Amino acid sequence: MKLLRFGDKGQEKPGILDEHGNIRDLSGLITDINGDTLSPSVLHKLAEVDLSALPLVSDQVRLGACVNGVGKFICIGLNYADHAHETGADIPAEPVVFMKATSAINGPNDPIIKPKNSSKLDWEVELAIVIGQDCRYVDENQAEQHIAGYCVCNDVSERAFQLEMGGQWDKGKGCDSFGPIGPWLVTSDEIFNVLNLSMHLSVNGKTFQQGSTQTMIFSPAYIVSYLSQFMSLQAGDVISTGTPPGVGLGQKPPLYLNVGDHIHLSIEGLGEQRQTVVNYQ
């Protein structure tokens, strides 16, 4: 299933994509796409619904973040071998963990807001995990049953804030609009091999990232198991799993986003996002 949320910001309704690519309204069956509705039992019931009987929604409607009420927005850094090489970093022996503020979460096609005093605004196409069942101290071979599905994430970053202002990375990762997720949450049963998905990102029509989850160092199942050793994971939590090479920081010379730039990113089977950079107002 491809679950989504549609409507004006703050007033989104739950929806689902039918076999013809049409949006259908789920609000008569569930109140939202969130931790309460991502359990295996609820997903199983939704999978049995006759989608053709649900109200049809205009394809011109705004899409919101594909999950609401996210408790934790966790990220894994340097998780692609070719991206680590691009940045000159060693391959990490264990996952590099940081957090994005949940207030950074945005719709997949909403504008990216360039913060005040930003000079090095960057892009990162990433595969994100959405947790469907609470877990703690879960083994890697059991971790997948705690994953509701996957979505596209743009881990927007401000490199000067992240790398040049001391402290940890979070300052350059959590600004408003820095976490577009969606367009939809694709349930795990629709992904044949999560470690063989092509990934793409272009800016103003020029391709910069053309990678694959094949070069991921730590798999989604490993990441869920690893994180669960340090914190409980709750249904609705989002984990963004790193980016392939081609970020602005890795260009020679580095290249960063400016107001008016257009970003297009996609992951095979998970849909695409389109964003325009705007000034903070």
Residue 53 inside a domain? The answer is: no
Report how many domains make up the chain: 1
Closest C-alpha among 109, 114, 130 to residue 266: 109
- Quick check: 63 and 183 in contact, CB under 8 A? yes
Closest C-alpha among 28, 102, 27, 26 to residue 69: 102
Residue 135 inside a domain? The answer is: yes
d(CA 124, CA 263): 10
Residue 75 inside a domain? The answer is: yes
Residue 22 inside a domain? The answer is: no
The residue segments making up the domain with residue 111 are 68-279
Residue 257 inside a domain? The answer is: yes
Q: State the average pLDDT over residues 115-143.
A: 97
Range in 116-125, 165-174, 215-224, 235-244 the model is least confident about? 165-174
Domain of residue 154, CATH code:
3.90.850.10
Look-up of token digits 């990433």: 126
Q: State the average pLDDT over residues 24-45.
A: 97
Question: Taking 80 as the threshold, does the pLDDT of residue 216 lie above it?
Answer: yes
Residue 28 inside a domain? The answer is: no
d(CA 97, CA 217): 14
What's the token pair of residue 104? Answer: 């950074």
What pLDDT was estimated at residue 90?
Answer: 82
Cβ-Cβ contacts under 8 Å for 189 (sequence gap 6 or more): none
What's the token pair of residue 40? Answer: 């295996």
Residue-wise pLDDT for 72-124, tens only, equals: 999 999 899 888 778 777 889 999 999 999 999 999 999 999 999 999 999 99
Question: Taking 90 as the threshold, does the pLDDT of residue 221 lie above it?
Answer: yes
Residue 37 inside a domain? The answer is: no
CA torsion angle 163 167 170 173 (round to 10): -20
Residue 119 inside a domain? The answer is: yes
Give the pairing of strands 179-180 and 105-106. parallel
Specify the pTM: 0.97
What pLDDT was estimated at residue 167?
Answer: 84
Closest C-alpha among 140, 146, 134 to residue 232: 134
